[in-house]
Amino acid sequence: MKILHLYYDIMNLYGDYGNVSVLERLLSQSGADCGVVKKSLGDKVDFGEYDFVFVGSGTEKNQKLVLEDLSGRAEGLKEYIEASKPALFTGNSFELLGKSITDCSGKAYDGLGLFGFTTVEQNKKRLTSDAILESDFLGKPLVGFINKCSEISGVENHAFTVRRGLGDNDGAKTEGIKYNNFIGTHLTGPVLVKNPHFAEYFAEIILGKRPDDGCLELAKKGYEVTLRELNSEN
């Protein structure tokens, strides 16, 4: 099995590499022969070769560099997502898949157009918050941190309901996008490390069976502590 960590070098804020590390460990613990392939700007990528694709969060400048590069891979990524193969884009990386991104100066960039939402950045201040997000496909909520300068409008397939923290835009109680087995979220942490049940969710899709979660015992204890503390602050 092969995990693709795309733009591993320039879209890797908030320890995002940990998402790939924990998933690789979980798959290997479950008996899979698993490896991680790292690709970046200009590298040849055949999405059909991979069992999981991950892109992390980057600066707004690096996001635009990736947008230019990823535009040439849009059709391959679309085929991958339409085939219901699993992928996770965290932070501002999933913004790339919408119709457009307008930066804080008012300059508009065409997105990949895989989804119909639009993104608008603002330069007043960064929007930050601890977060608790709920969904109908996970038995437990997700915990983590959101740090962004953008607002998103027009998402049709919301991934999460906001119990605490920031939504897609000011006042929104929805966050992120889910389509087939693709999930995009601004939640960082890294999200699969802080939420071991989320890592198990993807591992089960990849393996076609429940993974051996013995390697996640400490992560599960950490999750319970974080969730309890965040709930106590409400």
User: Which tens digits make up the pLDDT trace of 20-40?
Assistant: 999 999 999 999 999 999 999
CATH at residue 49: 3.40.50.880
Res. 178 pLDDT band, cuts 50 70 90: very high
Query: pLDDT class for 122, splitting at 50, 70, 90?
Result: confident
- In the chain, the DSSP E strands lie at 2-6, 35-39, 52-55, 87-90, 100-102, 108-110, 118-121, 127-134, 142-148, 150-153, 158-164, 174-179, 182-185
Range of the domain at 148: 2-232
Terminal CA-CA length for the chain: 42
pTM, whole model, 2 decimals? 0.96
**What are 194-213's pLDDT values in tens digits?**
999 999 999 999 999 999 98
* Overall number of domains in the chain: 1
